[in-house]
Amino acid sequence: MRRSNGVNILTWTTQQEINSSHFVVERSADGVAYTSIGQVAANGNSTVVHNYSFTDIHPINGINYYRLRSVDKDNSAKLSDIRSIKNEGIADITVYPNPVSDRLILNVNAEKAANGQVVILDLSGKIVYTGLLRINPGNTVIPIAAESIASGSYIIKIQLNDELIVKKFNKL
């Protein structure tokens, strides 16, 4: 399970299926009350590994709890274990390459426009870079010159409105 570009991508695998009909994907905001958000057809009868996926295109803010209802052809059903994923908020941020040599890239996929600040700190807490950000809805790519940053491990903090996102990266 992972979050990507504002959606949650759920994946699961079966080792064997006997009279399987389909999987009902259920989501909850509290881990107690679940609602069906989609269905995926099963392979029926199989003794080989099958990989499945479902994309939740409208995840809720905060923690999303998911479970699968595995339904057989006779309508009997079993529930899976519960898994959860936290939606980070207004933006998904990817920092690459990692490790970086000369230019660090921030790839920000935001649901709405935001103003912010980026701060890079070494592991002792010393600030080695600071800059202002203007994020537009959709995808924004922000290059940061890293030639003058010494080799080592760093923390990058991105503040967008009232949301703080923290990532770690290494400099060659």
Span 129-139, mean pLDDT? 90
Please name every residue paired with 14 in a beta bridge, in sequence order, or none if there are none: 50
Span 14-19, mean pLDDT? 96
pLDDT at 89 over 80: no
What fold does the segment set 91-171 form as a domain? Immunoglobulin-like (2.60.40)
CA distance 37 to 23: 11
CA distance 54 to 159: 31
* Fold agreement between 2-87 and 91-171: yes
Architecture of the CATH domain 2-87 = Sandwich (2.60)
Is the separation of the CB atoms in 142 and 116 below 8 Å? Answer: no
**pTM listed for this prediction:** 0.56
